[in-house]
Structure 1
Amino acid sequence: MYLQYKFYASHNHLLFQFQVPPFVVLATSENADQSQQIWMPDTFFQNEKEARRHLIDKPNVLIRIHKNGQILYSVRLSLVLSCPMSLEFYPLDRQNCLIDLASYAYTTQDIKYEWKDTKPIQQKDGLRQSLPSFELQDVVTDYCTSLTNTGEYSCLRTRMVLRREFSYYLLQLYIPSFMLVIVSWVSFWLDKDSVPARVTLGVTTLLTMTTQSSGINAKLPPVSYTKAIDVWIGVCLAFIFGALLEFALVNYAARKDMTQVSQRIRQMKQLPTDGYRPLSASQGRSSFCCRIFVRRYKERSKRIDVVSRLVFPIGYACFNVLYWAVYLM
């Protein structure tokens, strides 16, 4: 990240009575030692990983001494800061990244950092939408003064609230996986004898969903907890795999139906010629709707397909309502 760091300090021995100009600008040198013409605090960033100053074509440093003894020190820095992220709600997550600025050697008895009362942080126009994967929602100032064995050290904290852009994942993951689950239900409307078509459809959607989940997880560090995207992919895989298992159950039921039909034909051939038929065992009472359903779909394999046409979409719709209600709140 790019940061322009400023601080103000007051020195009574630097008072002057010049009317014009209202302040004095000190020249800087490419040699850092020669630029230290006045005392500077030993400020450092606690969560810094890498940092550099801008030196083209001259060091980007500004030092002003005002006639009331106040000093303005401004410098351009490029920093790489550590920001531990919590990915439970990924990719619907919000992250809090910190910038901690403190003195390394001087305790609060020597130096104390304080935020300005008005506009302590100035943001460049368009900064909130400049990040490719996040949107900067808010910037909050705070204090992080720490107490160690060597003393108490003053510290300033900047908290940046970042919201992950969801449109990419909506177009690249959620909508395609949603369509794959729906495509897997097409097998419920195919005839039970269309074995190659139904098997190919189930296996293809399952492999496509597996490949898509592997591509998404390859971009993330391995974590020990379950993410929101893992829940979505896992349930989609379960529904696609369930559609494939449903065909196996349909195929088993169809073979059972064929066996029962063959047994009935043999029993019909063994009936006596005088028209006498043995009484069958009485069946339990069933509801009117169930009797109509059984009469309309006499084959058990067909009944399984018809029930699956309702159970799978209703179950997936309930999951979507629960999923978006939990992770969008």
Structure 2
Amino acid sequence: LMGLLLHLLMWWTVRAEDVTFVPLTREFLDRLRNETLYNRYATPTQYDGIPTNVSLSMFIEGMSSFSAQTMDYHLDMYFQQEWYDLRLEHNHTAPILVKDKKVFREMWHPDVYFANAKSASFQVVTDDNFLVWVYPDGRVWYDTRISIVVSCNMDLWKYPLDSQQCPLRVLSYAYPESVLRLVWSIKDDFLPVDRNPEITMPDMQLKDIRTGYCNGTYATGVWSCMTAVFYVEREVMHHVMQTYLPTALIVVISWFNFWLDVDSAPARVSLSITTLLTISTQANAVKLALPEVSYMKAIDVWMGSCMAFVFGVMIEFTICHFAKNRELLRCEPQPSLIVDTALSTLFGASRDIDDLNDEDVGISSQENHTALNLLSPERSEPRLRSFSANVNTNESRLVTVDISRRALHWTRALRNLRGRRIAQRIDERCRTIFPVGFLLFNLGYWTFYLLYS
């Protein structure tokens, strides 16, 4: 309501006679319906051989729904057209008000249309939002309220740090420039395209409106065309809070891996996978809100870089785990050596034991050590002496294997300590490399997209 009052006040203050008007008269209707005096299919200057000038102006009441997905925006505006038709001159001191659309259709009026409009409609609540003033000198002023969805080919390579230029093109549909010429209205203290100062949008900010001309030559001739270009900037703070800050925090959380123990493989792997999946989910959510384009957007660079940093954390853990286990693999004995030693130890003694009779040898076990006790010294035959020598040899082999196992244990422990130290040094360096790298990336990212581009 406030916008409507401001709009009417703006035009009523142009001249004093605009405050009053004359109701539609029978004389005026008779003139319109007299085909001899008035031909509504002919332009006002058609028989004079000159084009009819139509002045256009707009008052933008509301603007919203700048959609990157559908590449369009919504306008709610008052659209004014003004021209001279000397056939409608009258003797009244005030303009005649026409509020009946049937009467208006009996008058000649420009057939302008919006070339890049997806859809448009007249406001009809609570009544048809239009009026026509016919001044005594034949000047006709036509005002109507229109809701329109306008197409805008947005360049999204800087999204969501972008600014857009969205034109609204107005043309005549049937009349070339030689018959009808469109011009922007020029009046003192009034802009041809003005706006409601209270216009606010959740994701965009209207910075400026500029008017221009876009006359084009076609096969049927030259057609008059006018443009109103809306310069808008995207509100960055919304995307900072919804996209940039959460993803940056996820990258920081992934760095907790560098403070976890090298042996905490389940914890480190689960943290890396969780952060990577979270980044992927947010990237998909952003992708669904945008159209499919053939170039890389600023948000794609950000999401891809954050995903690369998180993936780098997983690569770092893999390197640490490999460096730690590589030292252990170096000290592992050959499997064939272990099998041969065990077999020679066990079966070498068994063959000698099998050669003895039960009456000659008694076997007892004490403190986990196997001893062979002969029944009497007198029965020391050569076969028994040979068996005793074999037992002594096997005992020496057992001692050698035990020493080898202890050496292997200490070697493994030392190499494990060395591997852990290497992995810890990698973690310590990454605690600095990753934050500094992410900081440098942010510095380059924001500098490029906000300043140099």
Pick one of 429, 436, 443 that aligns with 1:314.
436
Letter of the aligned partner of 2:421 in structure 1? E
Q: Which residue of 2 aligns with 1:282?
A: none
How many angstroms apart in 1 are the aligned matches of 2:437 and 2:192?
A: 52
Alignment pair present for 1:220 and 2:342: no
Aligned match of 1:52 in 99, 106, 121?
121
Cα deviation for residue 219 of structure 1 reads: 1.4
Match of 2:321 among 245, 251, 269: 251
Distance 1:303 1:260, change over 3 A: farther
Q: CA RMSD in A?
A: 2.3
Equivalent in 92, 95, 107 of residue 18 of structure 1: 92
CA drift at 1:17: 4.3
Letter in 1 for 2:87: H
**What is aligned with 1:151?**
221
Q: In 1, distance between residues paired with 2:324 and 2:114?
A: 71
Amino acid at match of 1:124: N
Structure 1 counterpart of 2:132? 63
Contact 1:257 1:299 in 2 (8 A): no
Look up the equivalent residue of 2:282 and give its one-letter code: Q
User: For 1:40, what is the secondary structure of its paired residue?
Assistant: coil
Which residue identity does 1:317 align to in structure 2? L
Q: Distance in 2 between matches of 1:298 and 1:86?
A: 52
Cα deviation for residue 305 of structure 1 reads 0.8
1:183 deviation in Å?
Answer: 0.8
- Corresponding residue to 2:310 among 240, 243, 250: 240
- Listed as ranges, the gaps of 5+ residues in structure 2 are 1-74, 334-402, 409-417
**Native 8 Å contact 2:323 2:419 kept in 1:** no
2:13 aligned partner: none
Aligned partner letter, 1:164: R
CA contact (8 A) 1:28 1:61 kept: no
Mean CA deviation greater in 92-101 or 226-235: 92-101
CA distance in 1 between counterparts of 2:449 and 2:143 reads 42
What is the identity, as a one-letter code, of the residue corresponding to 1:25?
L
Which ranges of structure 1 fall in alignment gaps of 5 or more residues? 271-295
Is the radius of gyration larger for structure 1 or structure 2? 2
Q: What's the counterpart of residue 121 of structure 1?
A: 193
Give identity over the alignment, percent.
Answer: 35
More helix by share: 2
1:319–1:159 Cα change, 3 Å? same
2:77 touches 2:146 (CA, 8 Å); kept in 1? yes
Distance 1:107 1:152 in 2: 6
What is the match of residue 110 of structure 2? Answer: 41
Whether contact under 8 Å (1:52, 1:78) holds in the other structure is: yes
Tell me what 2:239 maps to.
169
Shift of 1:190: 1.2
Q: Does structure 2 conserve the Cα–Cα contact (< 8 Å) formed by 1:184 and 1:201? A: yes
* Contact 2:81–2:143 under 8 Å retained in 1: yes
Matched letter for residue 18 of structure 1: H
**Cα separation, 1, equivalents of 2:191 and 2:135:** 20
In 2, distance between residues paired with 1:103 and 1:109?
Answer: 12
User: CA separation in 2, counterparts of 1:261 and 1:193?
Assistant: 19
